[in-house]
Amino acid sequence: MSDMKNGINQENGKVYWTSYESLNTENQDPAVYNEFMPGVKDEFSPEKLSGISRRKFLALLGASAAMAATGCTDYRDKGKIVSYNKKPEEITFGEANYYASTCTSCGNTCGILIKTREGKPIKVNGNPDHPVSKGKICTRCQASVMDLYDPARFRAPQEVRSGSTRDITWAELDKAVLNALKSGGKTVVFSHAVVSPSYANVLSELKEKYPNLEVVYYDQFNEEIKRSAWKKSYGTDLLPVIDWKSADLIVSIEADILGTEGNPVEQTREITARRDAHKKNFNRLYSVEGNFSLTSISADSRIRLNPALHGELVYTLLNEVSKSVKSNLTEGLNLDAFTVDALASKGGLSAKEKKALSAMVKDLIANRGKGIVYAGRALSEEIHIAVNILNEILGNTALYNKENSNVSLFSYATKEELEKVIGEIKSGSVGLVINADCNPVYDLASDYGFADALKKAGLVVTLTALENETTAASKYIGALSHGFESWGDAQTRTGIHSLKQPVIEPLYKTRQLEAILLNWAGGNPDAYSDTMYHDYVKANWEKTVYSAVKTDLSFERFWLGALHDGVVLTREAAEKKAAFKPEAAKSLNPQAKKVNGYTLLLLESYALGDGRHANNGWLQELPHPISKVTWDNYLSVSVNTSKELGLKTGSMAEVTVGSRKLKLPVLIQPGMAEKTVSVSLGYGRTSSPAVAVNVGQNANLLQSKNNASPWLYENVTVTKAEGTYKLASTQDHYVYDDTLVKDIHLKRELVKEGTVAQYEKDPHFLHHGKKHALLNMYKEYEYKDVKWGMNIDLGKCTGCGQCVVACNIENNVPVVGKEQVLTGREMHWLRIDRYYAGDPNEPSASVTPMMCQHCDQAPCENVCPVVATTHSPDGLNQMVYNRCVGTRYCSNNCPYKVRRFNFFDFRDHFADGFYYQEPVNLGHNPEVTVRSRGVMEKCTFCVHRIEDARSTANAAGKTFTGEGVTTACQDACPANAITFGNYNAKESEFAKLNEHELGYALLEELNIRPNIKYLAKLRNTAEGV
């Protein structure tokens, strides 16, 4: 490690680094530090100013605001909606309303509160009354406001002619579709997962009306392999709900349970709740994987293993556990060859990883009934059955939730069913294909031949909101309303029913999907009304949910209460767990596997999912939680693999899977297993609006319908290809030139952590010999009333980035695009710094949320020549935008590098002014100034929320103490790692956290007195590991 130079930090004997390149690069690209791009210093010319007077401008501004408010009417004339915090009739200009609803952008149906101002949705938060999501939501739901105001949305139904489209009326579309439906020919409807009971009824009525209609359900990412194994093991295909918060031990096998698998919002909350330094009741998390995932960051012990060997891993665990825990389920299974020593040798495990594997076996035995082994969806059915047996033997089925079970309203099409229906389309026997808010041309494996088959269909209709690969192959396009413009319901768990209500009238001539199909099921296009689906959902609830609740309330009062709360609980019993079927164990055939070539993992994108959110700039610019790369996917390879193939970050590699080939840019990812490569799906969109088009590579092309798993491929060939490619990372450009800051990271204690055992032995271990004499030549300012501060628990923080997206939306942070990220000009007020420690082949990773620290003695304030950055009486480091002249002295003087400068008017600069188009401006938070070019900006501790709470307290004649004020990042954090509050409220939870023995301030020795404290991360590693 003598070649370590840049981006390095040393603490407690560990060396931290930010990327493999920072460990080895001899020379940094000088362009990274060039802040002077063409046009930035152009002279100001008064002649170019508009001739409109200030009075005229204000008059126009007032008129435009009135018009915007008029255009954003609520939905009271099309079905009554109910506000979460006040009645709709009491809408007051300048005051926010919140409406409870449900997010249906994925299958987890989180409860949400939609914040509106003057009838315009501007922010989404979680609904704290929802028993599953409990006030938290995912990044895609956070960013869904941008989808509502996407200027590329279809604004009316379209007819496609020779590659171009023209607006048509709904009557024209209805006539064409109903003629096809009534012709008697076969109709196929393609659909994603259905989570709405009312919508499921609509599809049933559609099939009843048209007997030749078939609905085909599919999703790019699903749990069908796991579900099939569960059915063979227990006779039911409903997977159990796991009580994660009661698990003392978790073993995750190629499963990103804190990132993309299962219900990450719920899992993150429940798992991290057992990592609270106050309660001192820590769980232990083992992660065994070939990829380096978000779960790896939080793992107490991580073991790298080629996914091709995960079957042998599970058989090893079964063999070792069965030596101490006898069970007839393992009788007849020849497991003798599967030992820790054999797996460690074959898998190339290090001495540390071998110790961790041995400790895992002991922990599984010691925590019988209090642990869970969880296998990822990419693994084979055989592995999932073996995992079910392992949990059964250990009594871990006690952690299956007995209060709720999962609910399924549909069945995914099997490979054989997909082949059959696509074959029928290709033969010309299908008269109508309806793609119901899905994109099968992009999603389905290329060897299904779906795109070619569509050419033989009689009529192809795609119902969607945005242009996609399937609309390009369609005759008609039905323009869909956004979820915030739609009615609906959802159920994914027994006894939990949620509602979706519109909060704004459709901005365009769009209709919601369910209403379109309901109208076609009726067969009479003239019967359509804007209230028809609202009435349908309401009637369905009166017949089902209302009768199940058994309340004395009238249905109308019950309905209004359900709309207010967003969720209704019924006394619906969970499905009883069935006994394990011994024949499932007998179906296993433990065999050692010979690993040839490379193993390829196809991953769900943390930001874009399966690609349906690709036109959302906030999500495209969200850094990958591990690599920090934006605006791209790439092939992740290990350090040794890169040396073996002669690859560097930015090199091109060709991946060959059978007869399918794809060239991808390379990123050297520390911690990847040997002979393992991975790439995220959801990129490489070709028929798409400006934000998504041609961003990244379409790795769906590597999928095959004939592989046992759609996401895991063995015997893959990887070779170096010609060319290079620039990947835009938001962290590596913070690694500065060695000649400028030699060894500075060795002196800074940017990461502090320890072990649970270390903490239990000595709670003050963090501060021994680390006390700094913080002197001050001036009298300290006395904060008499409120003094704001923040506490971030790094033991809970997973690095997911949801706080980043929430901050961007709350504060109107612009999208800058890949070109500007490459030069270090991303505008995020909050970033998640990620550091590696240890050997780059098997590192551990740590994360630190970083925003303005609101220092009491802020160095940025002293150097501003126009006093644009000042300190408030309640401890905030403030920005006065209309004073700022853009010297950037403050940014240079900030040791945390958290200030952002508007080198351009980025809304105009990005994609030829894409985000200056209507109606994007309607989504801006009116409580936060939209900054212009030449202005510095940064985290404000959500000062607009503080002032709103202060005004409310003053109006009520109460003393303002800051109680109840939260920041956007705090509200968004699924791990509840962020706490905001008043230092002077000595009895508050916030004040207690700031006195915690694990607390520390970053760069404390600079004596700038930051007002954010971090709680050091504790890893609950087994003894001797």
Q: How far apart are CA 310 and CA 289, in angstroms?
A: 8
789 and 725 in a common domain: no
> What pLDDT score does 744 carry?
41
Report whether pLDDT(15) > 70: no
Is 1006 part of any domain? yes
Q: Per residue in 442-457, pLDDT tens?
A: 999 999 999 999 999 9
pLDDT band at 45 (very low <50, low <70, confident <90, very high): low
> What pLDDT score does 776 carry?
76
Beta carbons within 8 Å of 459's beta carbon, 6+ residues apart: 176, 177, 180, 431, 432, 433, 475, 476
991 and 848 in a common domain: yes
> Considering 399, 429, 461, which residue would you say is the last residue of a domain?
399
Query: Mean pLDDT across the stretch 810-818?
Result: 95
Q: Cis before residue 670, ω within 30 degrees of 0? A: no
Q: What is the DSSP string of 447-501?
A: GG-HHHHHTTSSEEEEEESS--TTGGG-SEEEEBPPGGG--EEEEEETTEEEEE-
Q: How far apart are CA 393 and CA 391, in angstroms?
A: 6
Strand 164-167, strand 371-375: pairing: unpaired
Q: How far apart are CA 678 and CA 685, in angstroms?
A: 19
958 and 914 in a common domain: yes
Q: What are phi and psi of 164, to 5 degrees?
A: -115, 165
> What pLDDT score does 849 carry?
96
Q: Tell me the two tokens of residue 359.
A: 């400790």
Query: Mean pLDDT across the stretch 944-972?
Result: 93
> What pLDDT score does 8 carry?
54
Output the 3-class SS for 131-191: CCCCCCCCHHHHCHHHHHCCCCCCCCCEEEECCEEEECCHHHHHHHHHHHHHCCCEEEEEE
737 and 713 in a common domain: no
Q: How far apart are CA 995 and CA 731, in angstroms?
A: 31
- Average predicted confidence (pLDDT) for the chain: 89
Beta carbons within 8 Å of 697's beta carbon, 6+ residues apart: 633, 662, 663, 664, 665, 679, 683, 684
740 and 624 in a common domain: no
Q: Per residue in 572-612, pLDDT tens?
A: 877 787 889 999 999 998 988 888 899 999 999 999 999 99
Q: By the 8 A CB rule, do 630 and 607 touch?
A: no
Percent of the chain predicted with pLDDT > 90: 75
Is 680 part of any domain? yes
> What pLDDT score does 979 carry?
95
Is 381 part of any domain? yes
Is 870 part of any domain? yes
**Chain centroid to CA 916:** 26
Residue with tokens 């996917």: 633
Q: Tell me the two tokens of residue 898.
A: 């958290």
Q: How far apart are CA 729 and CA 640, in angstroms?
A: 22
Check which CATH number belongs to the domain holding 370 and give it.
3.40.228.10
E strand intervals along 634-737: 635-637, 651-657, 660-668, 676-680, 712-724, 728-729
Q: Per residue in 656-670, pLDDT tens?
A: 999 999 999 999 999
Report whether pLDDT(286) > 60: yes
Domain count across the chain: 3
Q: Per residue in 627-654, pLDDT tens?
A: 999 999 999 999 999 999 999 999 999 9
Query: Mean pLDDT across the stretch 476-501?
Result: 95
Percent of the chain predicted with pLDDT > 70: 89
> What pLDDT score does 733 carry?
40
pLDDT band at 186 (very low <50, low <70, confident <90, very high): very high
pLDDT band at 948 (very low <50, low <70, confident <90, very high): very high
Between the alpha carbon of residue 1019 and those of residues 246, 544, 634, 755, the distances in Å are 18, 48, 30, 5
Q: Per residue in 334-352, pLDDT tens?
A: 999 999 999 999 999 999 9
Between the alpha carbon of residue 617 and those of residues 144, 252, 610, 694, the distances in Å are 11, 32, 16, 14
CA neighbor of 108 nearest in space, from 12, 234, 193: 193
754 and 828 in a common domain: yes
> Considering 399, 414, 436, which residue would you say is the last residue of a domain?
399
Query: Mean pLDDT across the stretch 219-244?
Result: 93
Phi-psi region of 268 (alpha: psi -120 to 50; beta: other; left: phi over 0): alpha
Report whether pLDDT(502) > 50: yes
Q: How far apart are CA 319 and CA 330, in angstroms?
A: 8
Query: Mean pLDDT across the stretch 103-121?
Result: 91
Q: How far apart are CA 999 and CA 981, in angstroms?
A: 15
Secondary structure class of 603 (helix, strand, coil): strand
pLDDT band at 13 (very low <50, low <70, confident <90, very high): low
Report whether pLDDT(14) > 50: yes
Is 693 part of any domain? yes
Beta carbons within 8 Å of 444's beta carbon, 6+ residues apart: 218, 418, 450, 705
Is 514 part of any domain? no
pLDDT band at 714 (very low <50, low <70, confident <90, very high): very high
Using alpha carbons only, give the angle 184, 187, 188 rounded to the nearest 5 degrees.
Answer: 165
915 and 894 in a common domain: yes
Comparing 162 with 420, which gets the higher pLDDT?
Answer: 420
Secondary structure class of 46 (helix, strand, coil): helix
825 and 718 in a common domain: no
The residues pairing with 720 across neighbouring beta strands, listed in sequence order, are 653
Q: How far apart are CA 638 and CA 653, in angstroms?
A: 13
Residue with tokens 């030699």: 742
Report whether pLDDT(624) > 50: yes
CA neighbor of 850 nearest in space, from 897, 807, 798: 897
Q: Per residue in 877-934, pLDDT tens?
A: 999 999 999 999 999 999 999 999 999 999 999 989 999 999 999 999 999 999 999 9
Report whether pLDDT(61) > 70: no
Is 568 part of any domain? no
Q: How far apart are CA 5 and CA 317, in angstroms?
A: 41
> What pLDDT score does 328 carry?
87
Q: Which of 375-384, 555-564, 747-756 is the least confident region?
A: 747-756
pLDDT band at 404 (very low <50, low <70, confident <90, very high): confident
> What pLDDT score does 332 carry?
84
Between the alpha carbon of residue 923 and those of residues 115, 662, 927, the distances in Å are 11, 38, 12
Check which CATH number belongs to the domain holding 746 and give it.
3.30.70.20
235 and 368 in a common domain: yes
> What pLDDT score does 107 carry?
86
Comparing 709 with 772, which gets the higher pLDDT?
Answer: 709
Comparing 54 with 720, which gets the higher pLDDT?
Answer: 720
Largest Cα–Cα separation, the chain: 89
Query: Mean pLDDT across the stretch 89-108?
Result: 84
362 and 300 in a common domain: yes
748 and 670 in a common domain: no
Q: Per residue in 776-797, pLDDT tens?
A: 777 888 898 899 999 999 999 9
The residues pairing with 160 across neighbouring beta strands, listed in sequence order, are 165
390 and 311 in a common domain: yes
> What pLDDT score does 20 carry?
61
Is 188 part of any domain? no
pLDDT band at 18 (very low <50, low <70, confident <90, very high): low
Q: How far apart are CA 289 and CA 295, in angstroms?
A: 10
Query: Mean pLDDT across the stretch 99-107?
Result: 90
Q: How far apart are CA 136 and CA 133, in angstroms?
A: 5
Domain that holds residue 989: 8-35+733-1019
Using alpha carbons only, give the angle 258, 263, 268 rounded to the nearest 5 degrees.
Answer: 35
Alpha-carbon dihedral sign for residues 117, 121, 124, 128? positive
Report whether pLDDT(376) > 60: yes
Query: Mean pLDDT across the stretch 463-486?
Result: 96
Residue with tokens 């690859």: 647
Secondary structure class of 298 (helix, strand, coil): helix
> What pLDDT score does 66 carry?
43
Report whether pLDDT(818) > 80: yes
CB atoms within 10 A of CB 883: 13
Comparing 84 with 964, which gets the higher pLDDT?
Answer: 964
Q: By the 8 A CB rule, do 982 and 786 touch?
A: yes
Report whether pLDDT(743) > 80: no
Comparing 865 with 79, which gets the higher pLDDT?
Answer: 865
> Considering 729, 756, 781, which residue would you say is the last residue of a domain?
729
Query: Mean pLDDT across the stretch 169-183?
Result: 95
